[in-house]
Amino acid sequence: MLTIKAEVLKSKQKVDNTYNVKIRLTYNREVKRLATHIFVRTEDLTKDFKLKNPKYIKEADRLVRHYQELCATLPLETSNFTLNDILECIQKEKEANTPIDFIQFCKDWLTTTEVKGKRNYQTTLNTFIAFLGKDKLNTNQVTKL
């Protein structure tokens, strides 16, 4: 059974006296830890190195719940997944949800393509940018679900 928990490692104190909150994944007695964006100070921890500050507890719980929901879609009981396979699935899901700047993609494509009518595409892109009034457009703003 896969268990997911937030933890702080005593031995991993940074130079600036902060600790990184890690997400611990345990599956078939194998343990892997994922770094998070949460950094805590000693005063945010109990003497057992558990989170004490409610702000950080809430954020860590949100991350744990997110990873649990991602892993809930995996058929772990019916297949021979390893912990590395699970981490790979999590990484693919993160990459799939990363927005792409559509206009930057178009500009990159225009610099590398040798297609006939390239000037027409460039003119269309410039008109689109003028219409939007900005030169950034994430794909998640184009395709709202």
**Phi/psi of residue 101, each to 5°?**
-75, 110
Q: Which long-range contacts (CB under 8 A, 24 or more apart) does 88-94 make?
A: 90/34
d(CA 64, CA 9): 17
Query: For 41-92, what is each residue's pLDDT tens digit?
Result: 888 888 888 888 888 889 889 988 988 888 777 776 646 778 888 888 778 7
Query: For 95-143, what is each residue's pLDDT tens digit?
Result: 767 778 888 888 999 999 888 888 999 999 999 999 988 888 887 777 6
The DSSP secondary structure of 75-115, one letter per residue, reads: -TTTS---HHHHHHHHHHHHHHTS--BHHHHHHHHHHH---
The whole-number pLDDT of residue 130 equals: 92
Question: Which comes out higher in pLDDT, residue 90 or 6?
Answer: 6
